Structure formats: C-alpha cells, structure tokens
Structure 1
Amino acid sequence: MNTDEAIRQRASVRSYGSAKVDDAVVRELIELATQAPSAGNTQEWVFVVVKDPNTRQAIGDACFGRTFIASAPVIVVVCADMDKIEAAYGERGVSLYAAQDTAAAVENLMLAATDRGLATCWVGAFNEQAVKNAVNLPGNVRPMAMITLGYAKEKPRKPARRPVSEVAFSEMYGKPFK
C-alpha cells in the first residue's frame, strides 16, 4: 500500500476482533511514530502500550462511557514529557508544541497500522488523571491521546470529507484556492 492509499483507507474503528496484535508489529508502529517531526527535535513523546485486560478496562472507564476502548486488544497511550518540552520552549512548548508533536506521531502510527491491515481509533476524550493512574505516569508526563489498535470486526465506513474548495484559500482567508 502506498501513502495515498493508507491515508484514504484509514478510518476510525470502534469494533475489534479478538485476534492479538504481535508485539513486534506494535514495536515497529511505535518506531515509525517516532519518525514524526517535533519542535526543535525534542522528541518529547512517550508511548505506553497496554494489553492487560484490567488496565484496558481502567482506561476504558476513564473515557466517559466509550465501551469500545477496553475491547481493543491494544491501547497505545501517547504522552508528552512536559518537562522536556518546557525546558526547550517554555509555555509555548507546553501549550502548543506538545500537542502538535504527539499528533504528528499519532498520525504516523495510525497510517503505518493501516498499511499493515490494522485498525485504529484516535481517542482524545478522557479523564487525564484516571489515565495517569491506570498506567502509572509520573507528574511531568501528560497523556495526550490514546490509540486503540487491533483487527476490525468489519470493514469500517469512511465518512465523506469536505472538498478542497471549502477548506483551502489562496493568499488570504475567503479567497478561493483554484
């Protein structure tokens, strides 16, 4: 699969089969995630791979009723070392770059997973403290996103996307990009 195909095929999956995901594949996905750009090459990302059913349930419970999360064979908790990014960039690093950097890593991971026939869902709605407790994060490490990972029970429906004519402008906002 080429990059364009992975981008077009990736969809959020909320129903997973019981097949396990090999640790070597998860390691490879994380290695590819770390190839993402980061502000000043700080690479402040931290990944916690969760497969234990009890921990997955604790994380699922922290996600405001989204029951599909605990059913995924793997949850990758994507975090940022806030001390590291703050030391490099101060408040802007904490308030913006940590989110940007981890988001770039998440997208790499999700596209690489799609390329390998795996399904994912990016989860951003969760109780941070409950997730920190579930995976024993130190105070300086903040959970930024969670990615559910596994094999889809069925082919996901890919929602329509807005056309370029609605989202891109030329030189200034409101001037159509042709």
Structure 2
Amino acid sequence: MDVSKAIKERRSVRNFKPDPVPEKDLLKILDAGRWAPSSGNTQPLELIVVKEPKTKEKLAKAARGQSFVSEAPVVIVVCANIPRTERRYGERGRNLYVIQDTAAAAQNIHLMAYALGYATCWVGSFHDDMVAEVIEAPEKIRPLAIIPLGKPKKIPKTPSRRDLENIIHENKF
C-alpha cells in the first residue's frame, strides 16, 4: 500500500468486529513498531499484547471507561523501557526521548495495521498506574499508549485538518 494513502486514510476506529487477528498479521503489525527510529538506537519499546477478555476489560476501565478498548480482539499496550534511554541521555531521555521513540513506534503500528485491513485507535487517556498494574509492568516500564486492534465495524468520516499554509513557518514562528 502507498504510505501516503495509509497516512491520509487511516482513521481512529472505536467499534470492532469480533473476528480474531491472525498471528501472522499481528506479528507484521508488531514488527512495524520495532522498526521505528529511536534516540541513539536505544530501542526503549516494549509491547504487551492482550487478548484475554478480563484483562481487556480491566484496561478499558483504566482507560477511563472507554469500553471499545475491551471490544477489540487484540489490545496492544505500548510501553517505554525508561532505563534503556535514561542511561544514555539522562533526564531528557527519561522525560522526552522515550515518549518520542514509542510514539514513532505506535504510529508505525497504526499504519501497518491499516495497510493490512485492520482498524486501530490511539488511546492516550488512561490512568498510568492502573494500566501498569493490569499488565504487571516492572518498575521503570511506563505505559504510554493503548491500541485496540481489529476489523472495523464502520469507518468514521475524515475529520477536517488545518490548512497546510497555516501550520508552516519558515525560519521562525
């Protein structure tokens, strides 16, 4: 699939069919996250794949009651292994680079899922401590995104975007 098409047509979907995601497709999607750039190639990405219904329900509660999280056949919790980047970059690595690195990985996951005919939604509104508890994250492993994954029941309309000329600034703001 053309990357430009995937970028422009991918949507945040909040309703999923119960169809399972074949393991070969899931591995392609997860592998796309692995290939994202990371600061100094520190690779802080950790992915928790959740298929168990009770665990998905707990994640939905931790995601401030966003029930669609538990309705997806697969939920991916994107986490940052803070020490991997902190060792090299200190506070900036801990507070910024791990977020940038895992965000790049999450975007790759969304785009590959779309290219394979799946739907996703970037869930960032959640109680960090609750999600960490649900996935039994060790200390210094920080959940940064929850991505429900599955076949879409329906695709939402394309949201409006700001005009390009209104967001580009040359040389200074």
TM-score w.r.t. the length of structure 1 is 0.95
State whether structure 2 residue 152 is matched by structure 1 residue 152.
yes
Question: What SS does structure 1 have at the residue aligned with 2:154?
Answer: coil
Cα distance in 2 for residues equivalent to 1:101 and 1:79: 10
The one-letter code of the counterpart of 1:6 is: A
Cα distance in 2 for residues equivalent to 1:65 and 1:31: 29
Cα distance in 1 for residues equivalent to 2:24 and 2:35: 17
1:155 CA drift (Å) = 2.2
Equivalent residue pairs, number: 173
**In the alignment, is the contact (CA less than 8 A) between 2:11 and 2:155 conserved in 1?**
no
Per the alignment, residue 118 of structure 2 pairs with 118
Query: Could you tell me the percent identity over the aligned residues?
Result: 39
State whether structure 2 residue 28 is matched by structure 1 residue 28.
yes
1:24 CA drift (Å) = 1.6
1:46-102 CA distances to partner (integer Å, 9 max, x unpaired)? 000001000000000101121111111111000001111111110000110000000
Per the alignment, residue 161 of structure 2 pairs with 161
Per the alignment, residue 3 of structure 2 pairs with 3
Cα distance in 2 for residues equivalent to 1:132 and 1:172: 40
The one-letter code of the counterpart of 1:27 is: L
Question: What SS does structure 2 have at the residue aligned with 1:122?
Answer: coil
Per the alignment, residue 65 of structure 1 pairs with 65
Per the alignment, residue 89 of structure 2 pairs with 89
State whether structure 2 residue 137 is matched by structure 1 residue 132.
no
Cα distance in 2 for residues equivalent to 1:13 and 1:134: 23
Cα distance in 2 for residues equivalent to 1:163 and 1:146: 29
1:121-175 CA distances to partner (integer Å, 9 max, x unpaired)? 00001111111111111012110111110011012222011110111111111xx
1:102-134 CA distances to partner (integer Å, 9 max, x unpaired)? 000000110011101100000001111111111
Cα distance in 1 for residues equivalent to 2:56 and 2:119: 17
Per the alignment, residue 171 of structure 1 pairs with 171
Cα distance in 2 for residues equivalent to 1:83 and 1:169: 36
Question: What SS does structure 1 have at the residue aligned with 2:142?
Answer: strand
Cα distance in 1 for residues equivalent to 2:67 and 2:32: 28
Cα distance in 2 for residues equivalent to 1:160 and 1:17: 26
Q: Report runs of 4+ in structure 1 exceeding 2 Å deviation.
A: none
Q: Indicate the larger mover: 97-106 or 127-136.
A: 127-136
RMSD: 0.8
1:37 CA drift (Å) = 0.6
Cα distance in 1 for residues equivalent to 2:83 and 2:157: 40
